[in-house]
Chain A
Amino acid sequence: MATNPMHQFEVYRIGPEIKLGTIDISFTNASLFMVISSLAILLIFNLGSKKNSLLPSKVQLLTELSYIFVSKMISDTAGSKAKPYFAFIFSLFMFVLFCNMFGMIPYAFTVTSHIIVTFILASFIFVGVTIIGFMKHGLGYLKLFVPSGVPAILLPLIIVIEIISYLSRPVSLSVRLFANMMAGHTMMKVFGGFVISLGIVGGWLPLSFSVALTGLEILVAFLQAYVFAILTCIYLNDALNLHH
């Protein structure tokens, strides 16, 4: 039995060891769950969009609801100019959501509870948004670091602060998702351990707490995917509509 609450985050190899030079690229349980979430997304959205009837089936309803949800989120936060990036944000939201939700199944592995996964996602967003900004506005994109209506004396300080806050975006975006997932799963494991150690007499209290925590964690899993996607939209909005 795993008594250490951090044991659930262990990455181990499945199948043979594959080496590319000195880099280990073996198939692990993390890659297995990424493949499972991607396949589940593909399956659901293929089933939902294959036969478009006026009276939708449940899967089609799910597909259409999530489409409308994401497209409304993008048009609310980033405006109509962000329409071409719909496919990227939609797949990003769905991938993070499915990874979080698959992690809620007992004994499953949560891909997003590893900082390297979320950091790679966030740094791709950061680099992509920066490239889009420079492509749309040229060097004028640097005006992002100079807020309007600031006294000239304060400007050197403000510019440094703005640059630091811009550069810390990928870190805060990735740490937010990773910390939420990891803290939640550790907490559930700790309360599960209380149930075992208190036994049949006193174990009922932590057990009921555990049930409530599972509900909270499902909410957090959805909310963090939503926040991840909406912050991407906000960053995209900065790059597309430069209003300073």
Chain B
Amino acid sequence: MELEAAKMIGAGLAAISLAGAGVGIGIIFGNYLSGAMRNPSAAQKQFPNLLLGFALAEATGLFGLVVALIILFAF
């Protein structure tokens, strides 16, 4: 196979990891909402933790994007 084509396919495969980030962010917000509905008075206190979890989950998906960019541009 041509090297250029293999690079493109590899970068595309590496970008699939963003699906995991999507699942993670969905779980975080969904669980926060269900918890907040059960006990609205405690919801405000956990909001920083929600944002922290969101940022951590999003970043994990972006590591995959970095791998894709390394494959495309660094090799």
Contact = CB atoms under 8 A, between A and B. Distances in A.
Interface of A: 6, 73, 76, 172, 175-176, 178-180, 182-183, 220, 223-224, 226-227, 230
Interface residues of B, number: 14
B54 A175 contact: no
Contacts, number: 40
Majority secondary structure, B binding face = helix
B62 A180 contact: yes
Contacts of B75: none
B52 A179 contact: no
Given A6-B73, A226-B51, A227-B52, A175 B58 contact: no
Interface in B35-63: 48, 51-52, 54-56, 58-59, 62-63
Majority secondary structure, A binding face = helix
A180 B51 contact: no
B73 A179 contact: no
B9 interface: no
B55 A224 contact: yes
Contact of B65 (A6, A76, A183, A224): A183
Contact of A230 (B52, B54, B62, B66): B52
A223 B66 contact: no
Given A179-B59, A180-B58, A223 B51 contact: yes
Contacts of B51: 223, 226-227
